[in-house]
Structure 1
């Protein structure tokens, strides 16, 4: 397989939105009965995430067929990301500048292409183009293999949060990308 990785910013969302929705629908087909995982709710979250100036996605293609993607955006000052921690983190840890933390909102690979290192390649390509000091993501702690994968990639669990009333409980994970910049 010759994996092609394409980066798109928020100005290109209209061109790739249906691709993102289609891959999501396939990956989460087993959870569609849960309203939180419906394509409509995902599309709402996608619209909110992509509304940030710093939003970017990396989509992987195998001979023109989308196989997976990752997308994220920098957390802005006053971001709600850290507010849902069950055990609050220190204020100096959660203070956002708009350039400190990349929130990795989604990373998924279609089943046929799993186990080939594609998710990691997409993930690392997204991070390679970013200037933030660290990256954070949420993962269902019951998905122990997925959580262990993120730990192998350098992420540390910093607590748990429930970002929406109807969402699952998630482990909040953080990976340092570079040394913090002086204030």
Structure 2
């Protein structure tokens, strides 16, 4: 294991606590997605990202939201977050399932599926196992049966990493966010 990972400390946050760290959340995003931001695509802009973050942590809809921030000393170097999907969740809207019954697959009750929304590590700290440590710390404590995430099919590095970590593709989905690309939807059993 990398010496960097041995120096990591994790800070777990609720939605309200995450909002108190909004500036750090944006700083991590800016230092993690440099190329995506430079692409000029509106969906990848810091403003669009922070608008999504604000929606995810909105007190009226952030039930169960959890963020884990990785720190080396006082310096925040990575983060991951998600939330359990409730009965009125819109996460699955637009899902085109590869096989199986869509209504059964997308039936949520708040305890079945955890949506892993973001995992990112500042570019200068990649390659040291921080993303995996964040991923495992967050998901290792979740009580849900399974987790889901969305990944761009052409993001080979992330896609291959998730596959190595036990994720499997179940279909494709285009979120309702403005300018959102079409993602592959992945699933991983948690228990």
TM-score (norm 1): 0.91
Matches within 5 A, 1:23-42: 23-32=28-37, 33-42=40-49
- Is residue 10–residue 56 contact of structure 1 (8 Å, CA) maintained in 2? yes
Count of matched residue pairs: 178
Q: Please name the residue that 2:20 is paired with.
A: 15
- Cα RMSD, aligned residues only: 1.5
Please give the per-residue CA displacement for 1:137-157, whole angstroms capped at 9, x wherever unaligned. 001110122111101111110
- Is residue 16–residue 57 contact of structure 2 (8 Å, CA) maintained in 1? no
Equivalents in 1 of 2:25, 2:174: separation in Å? 24
Matching of residue 140 in structure 1 with residue 152 in structure 2 = yes
Q: Please name the residue that 1:173 is paired with.
A: 186
- Is residue 147–residue 187 contact of structure 2 (8 Å, CA) maintained in 1? yes
How far residue 87 of structure 1 moved from its aligned partner, in angstroms, is 4.2
Equivalents in 2 of 1:155, 1:28: separation in Å? 22
Matches within 5 A, 1:79-118: 79-87=89-97, 90-118=102-130
Structure 2 residue runs without a partner (length 5+)? none
How far residue 14 of structure 1 moved from its aligned partner, in angstroms, is 2.8
Matching of residue 70 in structure 1 with residue 80 in structure 2 = yes
How far residue 56 of structure 1 moved from its aligned partner, in angstroms, is 0.6
- Is residue 86–residue 162 contact of structure 1 (8 Å, CA) maintained in 2? no
How far residue 42 of structure 1 moved from its aligned partner, in angstroms, is 1.1
Could you say which structure has the greater relative contact order, defined with CA pairs below 8 angstroms and 6 or more residues apart?
Answer: 2
How far residue 128 of structure 1 moved from its aligned partner, in angstroms, is 2.1
Equivalents in 1 of 2:102, 2:172: separation in Å? 14
Please give the per-residue CA displacement for 1:40-97, whole angstroms capped at 9, x wherever unaligned. 2111111121231200100001121111110000111021111221347521111000
Equivalents in 2 of 1:129, 1:153: separation in Å? 16
- Is residue 162–residue 170 contact of structure 1 (8 Å, CA) maintained in 2? yes
TM-score (norm 2): 0.87
